[in-house]
Every structure is written in structure tokens, then in C-alpha cells.
Chains A and B, each alone.
Chain A
Amino acid sequence: MAMSLRRLLRHETILAMLVVVALVILAAQSERFFTADNLLNQGRLMAEAGLVALAMTFVIVTGGIDLSVGSMLGLSAILVGVFWKNVGLALPVAMVLAVGAGGLAGLVNGLIITRFKVPPLIATLATLALYRGLAEGISQSRSVRGYPEWFYVLGQRDAAGVPVQVWIMLVAVLVSAGILGLTTFGRATYAVGANETAARFSGVAVDRTRLLVYTASGLMSGLAAVILVSRVTTTRSDMGTGVELDVITAVVLGGTSIFGGKGTILGTVLGLALIQTLRSGLSLAGVKGDGTIVVIGLVLIGAILVSNLFGRDGDG
């Protein structure tokens, strides 16, 4: 692994303990919380941001950032409806194309960043506007409804007692963790984020690595979009707005350095769990959805503050 065992234990263990503490507190607050049903439902709600966060981990480890994930999600969501209802394609085809469109959007991000050397921050800020704008323009604020029954399996049904998207998430987590931690591509990702020049001089395909992580970010956004549409049974052009906050917070909370070069999938998963627990706890306490983002914002700033205080990030 690209983080020494000692450091890994320190951060992820603390995080895991926090998750446990949060769960215990919430369980004490409300007996409805700690039921299998509710926990699985939390998993269901977490899946969309979760998928995106897995890809975002790679992006941030390379030292970049992708602010456009919410817009790519929204665009893909709209395209599901458009491909199916307006273009008349079969729904499975529409779904695949929508995910593909997300991937294409991510690829465009990657090209702007690698080919034109635009800093990821501004490139994805611009595409955040562009993709959301396309979503709004294409949909003209009309939403698509009336999907066939089988479509809702993805978002609302269970398989073997566990929500379908939790299965999907589980597979995605295992695959991502495997790629990041065990493969040459994962090593390349860490190298690019830690010291791009040295990576290039060592024969690492820097641009290709970046291109792939941003495309993956788009694909995950697309996949999350399909699941989201299936869960809420409709498509709207404002879907995914603000998801970048949750995703970036989860990744950073999980120990990934915002400067690149360090981070793990396990950490991101724990970060997601903590955020979801926070959200659900706040909502049980009667705080409305918008109030929870206050807490998430505080957590984001706090997480980096603490990590800056306790260690030097980046390459010496």
C-alpha cells in the first residue's frame, strides 16, 4: 500500500471508531435506528454518492478534483429519460447510453485537463456549469415519468434481503480497492499525485492515468444517475446538485490528502458511513435536509484542518 501501515492504522482506525461512536449515539437516541431495515436503507441512500466517491478518491489522489460530478449526474439522469421517451430507445439501451454519456463527459474533463493543461479546479468548475446547463436546456425543466416496473428494481428493491444498489456498491468498493491498492494503475495514480514530474521521468503514463480517472468519475456519476432515477422514479434536471460536497467531504474525511498522493478506498467508505450516519442522525433529531449540509460543510473544513495540524501532506 502507498501508505505505511502505521499511518493507515492511525487515520482509518480513528475514523472507524468515530463511526462506531456515531452509530452508538444514534442507536441510543432512537430505537428505530439500529434495525437491520433502517441500516440497509441507509446503505441504499448512500449508494449514489458512494459510487461517485469511489471514483473521486482516485481523482483526488492524483492531486486533482472534479467539481462537475453533480452536473454529470444530472445530465446522465436527464439523458435516461430523453433516450427512452424522446428518442424511443429500449430502456436498457437508454440506461447504458446514459452511463456512457457520463463517461464521455468525464473524458472531456480529462482532455481539457491533460491536453489543454487547464487546472482541474477551473476545468471542472466550467464543465459544472456546462453540463448542468446542457441538462437544463435539454430537459427544458420537464421531467420524465412512467418507467416500467422492472426499472425500479435497481433503486427500490432488494436482492437476498439487501438493497440492490448496496450489492452494486459492494462490488464497486471491492473492485476500486483492488485497483487502487494492488495494481500498477493504482501505483501510477499515487505517483502522479505525489510527484507528477518524477512519475513522468519514471515512465509512468501520467496523462493516460489522469484521463482514465476523470472518465471513471464520469462513468460513476452516470451509474449513480441511473440508480437515482430508479430510486425516485423520475428524472429532473437539478438532480445531483450539491453531491460534490458530500463526495469530496467523504473522500477527505477518509484520509485522502487534498494535495494528492495519499488515500485509500477503505477510508472513503468509512468517510461515507460517517457522513450518512450524521445525516440520518440529524434527520431523526428533526433537522431538515438543508440543515444537515451545514454539518457536512463544517466536517469538511474540520477534517482538513485536523489533517494539516497533524502531518505534512504532499511531497516534502
Chain B
Amino acid sequence: MTSIVELHGIAKSFAGFPALKGVSFDVRAGEVHALLGENGAGKSTLIRTISGVHAPDRGEVRIGGEVVRLSSPRDARRRGIATVYQELLLFPELSVAENIFLGNAPRTRWGRLDWAAMRAKARALLEELDCHDLDVDAKVGGLSVASRQRVEIAKALSQEPRVLVMDEPTTSLAEGDVSRLMAIVRRLRERGVGIVYVSHRLREIFALADRVTVLRDGACIGTRPIGEVTEASLISMMVGRSIDQLFPKVDAPRGKTLLELRKLSYQHAVRDVSLTVRAGEILGIAGLVGSGRTELALTIFGITPATSGEILVDGKPVVIDRPRVARDLGIAYIPEDRGLQGLIRSQTLRENVSLPVLDRISWATIVDQGGEVRRAREAIERFGIRARGTEQIARQLSGGNQQKVVVAKWLGTEPRILIMDEPTRGIDVGAKAEIHALMGRLVQQGLGIIMISSELPEVLGMADRILVMSGGRMAAAFERAEATPDAVGAAMTHVGESRDIA
């Protein structure tokens, strides 16, 4: 069978960092080709190369057998490659129909926009996607995430593509919407469209894919027919080593309960969550994106203060209405979005490290600059941060070193409870291992850590106990011994089931 799109030996670097190292990939008509890999493996760069966003430094792209140079996303679209990204690119104030056709709207004889045709065609496209409940005149801004995604898919389909690239399409969807999406994918496959399905949800990949390609650290580890792989073989291809090697689990003595949540809620994002964290333990929180894990962290940390329920620190009830209060109680949050939430990238390492503790290193509000420099130097040494000095601008550091700065910054507040949200996302394997080792050391010193992670191997490898969230609630709890990828994975995709959580 011939491929519609082929990539041979694609290499791409950004500011010296190699995102792709000689990757080959192809898509055939009427197939679902899954693209799998940890965060930072190069999936995003690869699909952006296919969609014409990035031009490769080396290697060639072929469409229908001919070598092409894609000059822009529009160029790629004209050649039949459409992409649905995770961050939906829609216009909130415009209607569904207009969003679908903006840029290639149907015209009348006089050249003016044919709104009637636009609306009719939009409706037809949505029908094909089995979306009977979407009103083509509705403003996109008022739609749910799942509906907006369907608009985005319809938009991609409006140009009758031969290849459709879908980037993590189900991360923000609830169970029911996931099934609908998979039905859409199957329907498209029957029509002969070649689909690149980027995901880290093994369950979906096994349900949909014909072939699967695994990327790791910018290289293609292998492409296999789906029948030739198992979950275990895929995970080992993704991770590259056995789980024990990557996640050195250290056993630390359990102490008293540091943090307890009782039926904590925040509007509809967090519902009746109860849990405990003891000194010396790592509590893993697994779940699909949108299951409420980060929302829970933000509620504990005071960014979105709880609307009901209780938080107890050291057994005493507290009210956390802003981050400063959380910090004073000994809670620190290492955020999911390092660049936006974790660091001020335009400021120096020193300024970043001292920001959360400025009031503790100043007298009469005047900052102790000498003390600040000392702190920064200590941080560089203690965490092995590779930087030119305390005055280096954070933006210039690598992902792994930036994460170390964020960790150093928050450890500087002397927390006893550390919440880490996707702590090793997008950083190289070496730094990953260092952070895991650090976590082990911290719990030995008596900290309690809540680790939120989308990477099942990491959760399974590091956590003493695993809680699974779904739809804002606690869906399941596992002790380390009883947690298997199947059990945890199953709990993640189940909605509405709740067991008694310790």
C-alpha cells in the first residue's frame, strides 16, 4: 500500500536542542497511525513538520511520492494535510459555521460570502461527524470543550484532507465524548483518510490504531503493526529501560499525617475530595487531563480557594484563600506550566529563586541582596543547576535546569508538603532521574509529596499510594503493591465510580 505522506530522516533542532534526530514516518490511506512517546520525545515537533509549521533542518517530506517543501500551514492544507491541535485555534465571538470556513468560505457569483451555503455546508459536515446537536449559528465561545473540538475537526475536514493529524484529541474529554470521538476517527478511516493519532492513552491506541510508532528523545524507536505489540512492550519502548531503573524507589519511614482533605470542593472542578498525606510518603495522583488533578492542587494551594470542605494541616483546620497562606502553612506547589506559572523567564535565576520568600529575607521591606545572592548560589550547588551564575536569565536555561530552579525556589520556602504537578514533563532523561532522586531524598527528610502525573510509569514507579481522579472526584485508591497499569488505567477512564479512599 502506498503512503500518502512520508517523512525520511527528519532532523530538527531549536536553539541547539535537537528535538528530532533522523526520524522516518509515513501515513497510509485508510489507516490510523498512532504516534506515541513521553512528553518531550518529539511528537509535537514531528506533527508540526507534517503540518508545515516547521521546516526540517535535514531530511525530506514526500506527498504522494513527490518530494515537497511545505512553506506554511496553508501550503500543507492545500496539499491535503489538516491538523487538529490540542490548543484549539478558534474565534470565540464568531459562529460555528464561520469558524469552520474562515479562510475558505463559499462565495456567490458576485464574490461575496455566501452565508446560506456556509451554514448549509457546515451543517452537512457536522452531520457527517454525527454531531446533530451543534447549532451552526452558535458562538463558539459559549460551547463546551468537546463541542469546540468537534468544530475544529469539522474545520479540518472542510478542506477535504487526505491526511488528518490529531494531537492528543482526548486529553480534555469526558468518557462519553471520547467514544464519540473514536467513532468519528473510525468513520474517517473508512472514508480513506489517513489519520495520525498522537496520544499517550494506550487504551485508545489499542482500540483504534492500525500501526503505532514510538518516539523517544527525538528518535524513532520503532514502527509496528498494532497486533505485534503489547502495553508492556510499548511502555518499554517509550521509556527505554525497566521501570525500576528509572524510578529509584526509596522507602522512607512514614510519620504523622501532615495534610488531610475532607470533602474538599471547588465549584464543579473539584468535588468532595478526601485524602491524607503523611510525612515520608509520596502520594501519586493519576487521571486523565481534565480529571481535576491540577484543579485540586490549585485549590489546596489557594489559587482557587475551596468553596466547601475542609483542609487540615497538622490536624488543625485551616483556610487557604491565597498562595501566601499556603506557603506560610508549609505547602509548596510546583506548577504544571513551568514557563507561565513556575518561572519569570525574563528575570534572573537569583530573582526567581527569591520571589516566594522576599518577605523572609528583608528587613522593613528592604530586600537583603547579599542574602539573596547566597541563596541563589546555594541553590545552584545543591541542585546541580547548570547555569553561568546567579545572574543568568531563566529563559536561557534548558528545560531540566529551569525545572530545577522552580524546585529550588519552592524548597527555599521550607515546605513540609510539596505538591508537584507533572514534575518531569518535557525535560531530558538525566534531569528526570535527578528530580526523582531528589524526591526520594526529600521524603527521607520527612516531607510529604503529592505527585500529579499523566505518565503512568512514573506514577507506578514513584508513588507509595496512588489516587485516581476522574471528573473532579476521587475514583479509586491503590496501595503500591496492588497498583498495576491495567488497574490504574481502568480506574482513570471510569467516570462516576468512587471507592472509599484512605
Known pairs A4-B348, A195-B345, A316-B345; A202 contacts B356 (CB<8 A): yes
B 306-347 binary contact with A (CB < 8 Å = 1; else 0) = 000000000000000011100100000101000111111111
Interface residues of A in 1-33 (CB under 8 A from B): 2, 4
Interface residues of A in 302-316 (CB under 8 A from B): 314-316
Pick the 9 closest A-B CB pairs, nearest first: A316-B345, A203-B324, A183-B365, A195-B344, A184-B358, A316-B395, A203-B323, A202-B355, A315-B346
The yes or no answer to B362 lying at the interface (CB within 8 A) is yes
Contacts of B356 in A (CB 8 A): 202-203
A 166-197 binary contact with B (CB < 8 Å = 1; else 0) = 00000000000000001111011011001101
Task: Tell me the bound Cα distance from A96 to B397 in angstroms.
Answer: 51
A182 contacts B366, CB within 8 Å? yes
A 283-316 binary contact with B (CB < 8 Å = 1; else 0) = 0000000000000000000000000000000111
Tell me how far the C-beta of A44 lies from the nearest C-beta in chain B, rounded to whole angstroms: 32
The yes or no answer to A81 lying at the interface (CB within 8 A) is no
The yes or no answer to A82 lying at the interface (CB within 8 A) is no
B 400-416 binary contact with A (CB < 8 Å = 1; else 0) = 00000000010000000
B344 contacts A198, CB within 8 Å? yes
B342 contacts A198, CB within 8 Å? yes
The yes or no answer to A204 lying at the interface (CB within 8 A) is yes
Known pairs A197-B341, A202-B323, A316-B395; A184 contacts B365 (CB<8 A): yes
The yes or no answer to A145 lying at the interface (CB within 8 A) is no
A 195-229 binary contact with B (CB < 8 Å = 1; else 0) = 10111111111000000000000000000000000
| Residue of A with least CB distance to B341 | A201
The yes or no answer to B391 lying at the interface (CB within 8 A) is yes
B residues in contact (CB < 8 Å) with A: 303, 322-324, 327, 333, 335, 339-348, 351, 355-356, 358-359, 362, 365-367, 391, 393, 395, 409
Contacts of A194 in B (CB 8 A): 344, 346-347
A-B Cβ contacts below 8 A, count: 78
Contact pick for B355, options A183, A199, A205, A316, CB 8 Å: A199
A residues in contact (CB < 8 Å) with B: 2, 4, 182-185, 187-188, 190-191, 194-195, 197-205, 261-262, 314-316
Task: Tell me the bound Cα distance from A112 to B237 in angstroms.
Answer: 54
Contacts of B348 in A (CB 8 A): 4
A191 contacts B395, CB within 8 Å? no
| Residue of B with least CB distance to A314 | B346
| Residue of A with least CB distance to B323 | A203
Tell me how far the C-beta of B278 lies from the nearest C-beta in chain A, rounded to whole angstroms: 25
Tell me how far the C-beta of A199 lies from the nearest C-beta in chain B, rounded to whole angstroms: 7
List 19 other contacts, CB 8 Å, given A185-B365, A194-B347, A195-B344.
A2-B347, A4-B391, A183-B365, A183-B366, A184-B358, A187-B355, A187-B358, A188-B358, A190-B351, A194-B344, A195-B345, A198-B342, A199-B355, A200-B303, A203-B323, A203-B355, A314-B346, A316-B345, A316-B395
Of listed A187, A194, A205, residue having the most chain B CB within 10 A:
A187
Of listed A184, A188, A191, A203, residue having the most chain B CB within 10 A:
A203
Known pairs A184-B359, A203-B356, A316-B346; A195 contacts B323 (CB<8 A): no
B395 contacts A203, CB within 8 Å? no
| Residue of B with least CB distance to A185 | B365
Contacts of A203 in B (CB 8 A): 322-324, 327, 355-356
Contacts of B323 in A (CB 8 A): 200-203
B346 contacts A182, CB within 8 Å? no
Task: Tell me the bound Cα distance from A314 to B345 in angstroms.
Answer: 9
Known pairs A2-B347, A197-B341; A184 contacts B333 (CB<8 A): no
Contact pick for A190, options B322, B345, B347, B365, CB 8 Å: B347
Contacts of B339 in A (CB 8 A): 316
A195 contacts B346, CB within 8 Å? yes
Contacts of A316 in B (CB 8 A): 339, 345-346, 395
Tell me how far the C-beta of A188 lies from the nearest C-beta in chain B, rounded to whole angstroms: 8
Task: Tell me the bound Cα distance from A316 to B366 in angstroms.
Answer: 28
Task: Tell me the bound Cα distance from A60 to B313 in angstroms.
Answer: 40
Task: Tell me the bound Cα distance from A204 to B333 in angstroms.
Answer: 14
Task: Tell me the bound Cα distance from A92 to B249 in angstroms.
Answer: 72
A-B contact pairs, 27 of them (CB 8 A): A4-B348, A4-B393, A183-B365, A183-B367, A184-B367, A185-B365, A190-B351, A191-B347, A191-B355, A194-B346, A194-B347, A195-B340, A195-B346, A197-B340, A197-B341, A198-B341, A198-B342, A198-B343, A199-B344, A200-B323, A201-B333, A202-B356, A203-B322, A203-B356, A262-B346, A314-B346, A315-B345
Task: Tell me the bound Cα distance from A311 to B446 in angstroms.
Answer: 46
Contacts of B351 in A (CB 8 A): 2, 187, 190
Of listed B355, B356, B359, B393, residue having the most chain A CB within 10 A:
B355
